[in-house]
Structure 1
Amino acid sequence: MIWIYLLAGVAIFLKILLMPQPAPSELDFSIVEAIVQDSGVPNAVTGIIFRNRLYDTIFEVVVFTIAIMGAYFLLANEKPSAKFRRFTDEPSIVLARLGATIAALVGIELAIRGHLSPGGGFAAGVAGGTAIGLVAITSSSELMQGIYQRWHTARWEKVSVMIFIVLAVMTLVGLELPHGELGSLVSGGVIPILNILVALKVALGSWAVILVFIRYRGLL
């Protein structure tokens, strides 16, 4: 059986090595311009993520949600750590809090204007999660857990996922909001809303994972 695999591998290698790759024919239109026209947003990457391949994006959000649930599941049987490691010196705290402020502002900018310039919901969520992580390594675990529970963050995370899925399904079946004027803040139909929902999901989900690792491992 192994000889069949070897012959198949050699045949594929020879095909790649010897057979020429046909040159793509020139198109009568620009793909990027077509995506911008179809989505109504200048950022073609955002148009692809939240329109051309929206079906994939839905499952990316679902996979991220399952990953957060998996972190809870895998650490559920462990004992909470009795020792927590965090920065205690004043210069480190000041620098971390400053970095958190900058990351949070960048995240807000990417979420609101991600359909107009490079950025988007996933990048905004990563920036928001970074801000939360920087605050977590300079604060007590009780403070972070208290804020998380006081603002019902877990509930908002689930709500953002459900709203995203509903709006995405509506878009897939052909129900769309008006695109508005290309290049304006309120443009692209539902795409800016999806950007913000993804940013919330990723940032709040990162917060949940950070708290789990702090609680059960004592560190990030």
Structure 2
Amino acid sequence: MKWVYLVAGLALLVKILIMPNPTEQWEEMSIVDAVVGDSGVPNAVSGIIFRNRLYDTIFEVVVFTIAVLGVAFLLANETPTTIVYQFSDRPSIILARLGATLSTLVSIELAIRGHLSPGGGFAAGVAGGTAIGLIAITANTEWMSAIYKRWNAATWEKISVLIFIVLSVITLMGWELPHGELGTLFSGGMIPLLNFLVAVKVALGSWAVILLFIRYRGLL
């Protein structure tokens, strides 16, 4: 069999040396420009996440949902912490609340305009979760849990996941909203909606995980 490999190697060498490189015959093309043109949004990353590889993004959202459920399941049999030590000095509280305010504004900006500028739904959700975490280290845990239940955050988290999956499946089937004018707020078809839903899902999921860890493990 050695002579077969030798012939194959020589044929490949001849091909490399003699035959022209096909890439030289192609016109120069920017992948970023192609993604922007297909998705209708200036943020090529959002175009790839919510269009070119939307199938993967669906399962990323599902995996995050399973992670939140897993935390609740694993900690359900543990004894809640009786005393939660939190920051009580005035400077720490002021800095934490200021950081939470800034993180919240960043989260809203990325959730609404993530398809136009760097960022997106996942980044917006992380910023929102950061804001919640900063509040949690200085506020009463029972008060935060009461707000979480009053606004039915757990229900809205599940609803956002279901709507995201439905819209994603519709998009994968080939049905899209009009792209609109490139660079405007209402552009990109389904992408702004998917971007916003992911932001809501990640932020609310982070809120649930933070409350669970503080309840069963104290302030980390």
Give the TM-score taking structure 2 as reference length.
Answer: 0.88
Distance 1:100 1:24 in 2: 54
Distance in 2, Cα, partners of 1:76 & 1:91 = 35
- Structure 1 CA distance for aligned equivalents of residues 22 and 82 of structure 2: 62
2:10 is aligned to: none
In 1, the alpha carbon distance for the partners of 2:128 and 2:183 equals 25
Whether 2:119 is the aligned partner of 1:119: answer yes
1:110 and 2:110 equivalent? yes
What is the aligned partner in structure 1 of residue 51 from structure 2?
A: 51
| Superposed displacement of residue 25, structure 1 | 3.1
Q: Which amino acid aligns with 1:193?
A: L
| Counterpart secondary structure, 2:134 | helix
Superposition map of 1:1-220 within 5 A? 25=23, 27-28=26-27, 29-220=29-220
CA 1:183–1:141: 2 relative to 1, 3 Å:
same
Larger Rg: 2
Q: How far apart in 1 are the matches of 2:22 and 2:160?
A: 42
Q: Which amino acid aligns with 1:154?
A: A
Q: Which runs of 5+ in 1 are unaligned?
A: 1-21
Which digits, 9 at most, give the CA deviation of each residue in 1:126-155, with x for residues without a partner?
000000000000001111000000000000
Query: Residue 18 of structure 1 aligns with which residue?
Result: none
User: For residues 194 and 85 of structure 1, what CA distance do their matches in structure 2 show?
Assistant: 38
- Tell me, in whole angstroms, the C-alpha distance in 2 between the residues paired with 1:109 and 1:24: 45
SS of structure 2 residue aligned to 1:118: coil
Give the deviation of 1:24 after TM superposition: 9.4
Give unmatched runs, 5+ long, in structure 2. Answer: 1-15
Q: Distance in 2 between matches of 1:166 and 1:124?
A: 21
Question: What is the one-letter code of the residue matched to 1:70?
Answer: G
Give the letter aligned to residue 189 of structure 2. G
State how far apart, in whole Å, the 2-side matches of 1:88 and 1:198 are.
Answer: 33
TM-score (norm 1): 0.88
Q: Deviation per CA, 1:160-182: give whole Å up to 9, x if none.
A: 00000000000000111000000
Amino acid at match of 2:208: A
- How many pairs were matched up? 200
User: 1:122 corresponds to which letter in structure 2?
Assistant: F
Q: How far did residue 218 of structure 1 move?
A: 1.3
CA distance in 1, matches of 2:140, 2:110: 29
Distance across 1 between alignment mates of 2:31 and 2:99: 38
Percent identical pairs in the alignment equals 74
The equivalent residue for 1:13 is none
Report the equivalent of 1:19: none
